Structure 1
């Protein structure tokens, strides 16, 4: 009978080391092929530093810390002033700074490269391996620009800041900032996705195009962002009352700055941060408006048509983000199988495990090919065929890929056995996010 000394039981064997030290871009052959197919080899080379940083132990650690240390709402300062600030862990800011710096926010809209959106899509997928939650404000910032184009003045005011590659957090006057982030507020308690049931009121002021909002929003992520696109009901008699409205009334889109031009904070109350299924790093919130200053974007009564441009762009990022979850899960599963032994040989050498991993790889590569094809369609915005493809394929792709992701991630998690159910493996986070 073999006796184990106390030193022996402290020696750990047959465990896979952390998956770090690899390039997330160049290690993903399906992604590289798609970027070359729809872009060029130069785009791949340009993304290589991003892929290398995304695969570091440092990036993995920041992703874990951002979810272990949840954002904290501070409604009032020490003197009793209402400030409605959300404080994030330094790891959140580390991730955001690099995501913005790598041009994953709205930079493609100001780029002259014919492959700007393909590059951004591949980078967004790769960088999301670090942590999925901070992709939300990055995605909304990207998506806000096409909707803002409904008003030339508002687009000129905000697009350069949103397209900046400088991360400049904090609530300050927009004109003093080197970069800005955007958010979106559509749903309300009583309606959810049925935005026609929204009850938040927009009341026109004496200033052309300016309104005050009175109501609430049920789910608004990243309340520390600089500007929000919000839906509210404009009164049908606004033109007659003030001479400033369009007179149509109904659901209308508005631009709501967090800080006003004079440096004062807009009246926007963060009621609470929501505990939710998925990541814990991003601050999803409920908001209340009571005299909140807003600027009309597009015509009254055309709010859904106006904001649908933002929704369409976020649909693309839903496909990209879900595909990233698939790829990260596949990477973890194959890495574990390559290092873990059972019943006399490596898991990766077992025929049944090979079948499982092959199925996961096929599903991941199919999602990657679809996602990059849709990103390429954004680069060819002037082509009627590509425009039709985006309009039809984006919602279908979002439905299919997002529906398939939870099953795929669950299967990948099971490849790790009991190790996959431990939070430190990151697999539980990926599974919650996939749901």
Structure 2
């Protein structure tokens, strides 16, 4: 489009102004300006580009400029006000972009001078699990999920891994060793850098410990506080900061709305804090292969298993045909079943609780499901789900529309398949998660891949 793009870096304001002046001179084919000492001069020069024609101007990593020059948002606001006061028909289209989402949100919030200037706020989300599989050129669904459990859907991480994807299912362990466990790749320290960038001046030690607690199975603020030996107030403050900076998600339990569940927003952080962080020092004097042999069982149980359950919930909301559950899902979340003893552990949990809109109820219970990453599921899983439904019914939940569902990463026995054929259970395996198309009837519900 013939526009101008400036990629900011972490640098002193004077250096950024000098670089901007040099790059603008190359763009316009003119001599570099005398070195600007004020951002007012730079902003005026940029806006002048749009006096004769529409021109897009991109200032990328804008937060890096604002950190060194906090007045820059006000300077941009003033420049546009002067254009309006002078009646100039300026057609500059200024795009301010950055990867530090919390700061970007603050820069355009209601209290910011940029708020009234913004015509569009666009957040570029990571690729979903199906898109990520295609992006990494992975056809095997189990391998695709394992890779996604490490790097999620951030496209840049393929480049950070040296543009190396696993060649097949048997190459996954070697791929982990030559990428995320390899100090020569940017991916090796990316989780650390991610926390550094997003936490700014906070107590990073406490942030690391909180993320480790959550990645290790603590799912409520109370459990995190108990694990870290701190007050609930201190834990809640830390968790709120992590959530505000996009590193943490929280949502009410599917059956107990007053119980808040926590999960890490970035798979790479889960991989780091659940599996790798306790063994990082060992990588300094042992080979990656040896360390990974010790880490792999933890990865399977504490990372891949919970990630598989989350992918199942994502499938419900994004790709499942409404006919699967009898109505359009409006929410899929984990739930603690009332009536189950606390010490029952996983048996007290439903991994995929689906609610939706029926003719009679906008929050009707459509399905209760369990997800087992490394377990072939059998009839006893179905009996367990029926027991959970009985407990829910006894507690006053309407289970009229609820369908038991089993989600497995390795498959189902013939007996359970037969129960599926008789309409007693919904079975969802990896092939269905990754490859099943949504019918035309259900295409509005969830982003079918065509």
Choose 1 or 2 for highest CA Rg: 2
Q: Report the TM range for the smaller structure's normalisation.
A: under 0.3
**Greater RCO (CA < 8 Å, at least 6 residues apart):** 1
